Amino acid sequence: MAKRDRLSGNEAISYAIKQVNPDVMPAFPITPSTEIPQYVANYIANGEMDTDFIPVESEHSSMSATIGASAAGARALTATSSCGLALMWEELYVAASNRLPLALCLVNRALSGPININCDHSDSMGARDTGFIQIYAENNQEVYDNFVQAYRISEHKDVMLPIMICQDGFITSHAVENIELLEDNEVKNFVGEYEPENFLLNADQPMALGPYAVSNYYMETKMAQNTAMNNAKKVILEVGKEYGALSGREYGFFEAYRLEDAEYAMVIIGSAAGTSKDAVDALRDKGMKVGLLKLRVFRPFPDEEIAAALKNCKAVAIMDRSEGFRSKGGPLGTEVKAALYDHAANVRAFNLVYGLGGRDFTVEEAERIYMDLEAYDKEGKAFEEYRYVGLRGDGYVEEKKPETVGTTTMNGTDYTSKKN
């Protein structure tokens, strides 16, 4: 029977880790993911799980130790954010190319510089082509649910790839929400025991891991990874359906929110989907046919399914919480536009960048985007192919000026008090 609790995103994923009880967790602290190894270490110290926790000296070492544990046949994971992920870069490719089904709990945070500890997706989007499966969460419930499903996906014999479970820094990682948790035995039965087929400690079948690959073999390795990533699409749907039968919450590649008859749509990843849903509801009440595609799975990229979901829209805004520096938008925009083109979906698509470095994305801004799409379609009003939303002083949404409520004089100086 499910139980309800109030947990932050970091608490939720840590609780899921406790229930799964993996074999090994190396970790190094970095804001805003530090709480995850902290909570797990507390569970271990209190005797609630028997995972071997390895404190290391850097994130590069953290991923290296996780790779070593996984290669030895252990169910392993680590956690990081932002520059920590960047320091792991070399090892991300090693984990994927060696087909190690380890898990990485990533709390999305802006990459330096300038130094910023708040949410955007520049860290995970920078790692999108490393060979990791990438799954994103809108809220704390999805953070928990995604991790419970993680090993069932990554350890499948037709996949055997590392998996990255992503959540938005501070917005979900530190905010507290009511969520439903499965019983410990339900999680253990759902996830099952890890039974690796090939591992270094198998004395009956000696093997080499990570040897030098000459040109005659390197390409075949990449093709094998690509095949496994394609196989992951089927597995993700199968696991999501089975999890739905257990929990009542079924998951696929994305959520199509009021999209069935939508003329204007938004494609978005992560916590900002909740903001956009409020905008959709408000505009629907006014008679506008608007909808939202909240992407959950970015790798493998569900191009055909996205094109099918958007094909009847007249105009679409693709929202990127990272910058691609290609003068035309970010990585999500690139992928979605390619999907629409490849599958002959005749939809006008625009790429907007928002929320970098934790910049707020408001319901009013989301509503304005939908209204601009309608104005473009019905009135021929110009809509920039690529633009930023939420820049200070851009006038995109009228800024509320503080209301002056009084003036106080102290030591000959006037101080004005204002109310927001």
Confidence tier at 113 by pLDDT (50, 70, 90) = confident
pLDDT, residue 412, reads: 60
Distances (CA, A) of 380 to 119, 194, 373: 35, 57, 10
State the pLDDT at residue 417.
53
Examine domains 3-195 and 254-388 and report if their fold is the same.
yes
Nearest to 156 by CA among 240, 49, 31, 246: 240
Which backbone phi and psi does 341 adopt, to 5 degrees?
-70, -45
Best CA proximity match to 171, nearest among 366, 281, 10: 10
What CATH number labels 254-388?
3.40.50.920
Query: Which tokens go with 108?
Result: 């999305």
Q: Would residue 58 be called left, alpha or beta, if left means φ above 0 and alpha means ψ between -120 and 50 degrees?
A: beta
DSSP three-state, residue 275 = helix
Distance CA 199, CA 66 (A): 14
Kindly report the CATH number that applies to the domain delimited by 3-195. Answer: 3.40.50.970
Q: Closest by alpha carbon to 188, among 5, 364, 21? A: 21
The crossing angle, in degrees rounded to 10, of helices 140-154 and 184-191 is 30
Taking only Cα atoms into account, the Rg of the chain, rounded to an integer number of angstroms, comes to 23
* pLDDT tens, residue by residue, 345-388: 999 999 999 999 999 999 999 999 999 999 999 999 999 999 99
- The pLDDT score that the predictor gives to residue 210 is 86
pLDDT at 411: 58
- Alpha helices (H) along 98-214: 122-126, 140-154, 184-191
Q: How high does pLDDT run on average in the chain? A: 95
Nearest to 332 by CA among 90, 120, 132, 173: 120
Amino acid 65 reads A
- List pLDDT tens digits, range 140-196: 999 999 999 999 999 999 999 999 999 999 999 999 999 999 999 999 999 999 999
Q: How much is the pLDDT for 393?
A: 85
**Could you state, in order of their start, the residue ranges of all structural domains in the chain?**
3-195, 254-388
CB atoms within 10 A of CB 67: 24
Q: Does the pLDDT value for residue 409 go beyond 60?
A: no
Terminal CA-to-CA distance of the chain, rounded, Å? 46
Q: How far is CA 143 from CA 16, 19, 29, 138, 212, in A?
A: 9, 14, 19, 8, 37
Other CB atoms within 10 A of residue 290 CB: 29
Rounded CA-CA distance 78/29 in Å is 10
- Across 395-418, average pLDDT: 60
* SS3 call for 301: coil
Q: Per residue in 13-28, pLDDT tens? A: 999 999 999 999 999 9
Backbone angles phi, psi at 263, to 5 degrees: -95, -30
Nearest residue to 327 (alpha-carbon basis) of 244, 385, 261, 256: 385
> What are the residues whose beta carbons fall under 8 Å from the beta carbon of 160, sequence distance 6 or more?
99, 100, 101, 154, 228
Across 385-406, average pLDDT: 76
CA pair distance 306, 292, nearest whole angstrom: 11
pLDDT confidence band for 206 (50 / 70 / 90): very high
Tens digit of each residue's pLDDT (9 = 90 or more) over 241-280 = 999 999 999 999 999 999 999 999 999 999 999 999 999 9
Q: Which string of DSSP letters, residue by residue, matches 334-382?
A: HHHHHHHHHTT---EEEEEE--GGG----HHHHHHHHHHHHHHHHH---
Residue type (1 letter), 7 = L
In which element (H, E) is residue 90 found?
A: helix 89-97
pTM, whole model, 2 decimals? Answer: 0.94
In the prediction, which pLDDT does 418 show? 55
Q: Is 415's pLDDT higher than 90?
A: no
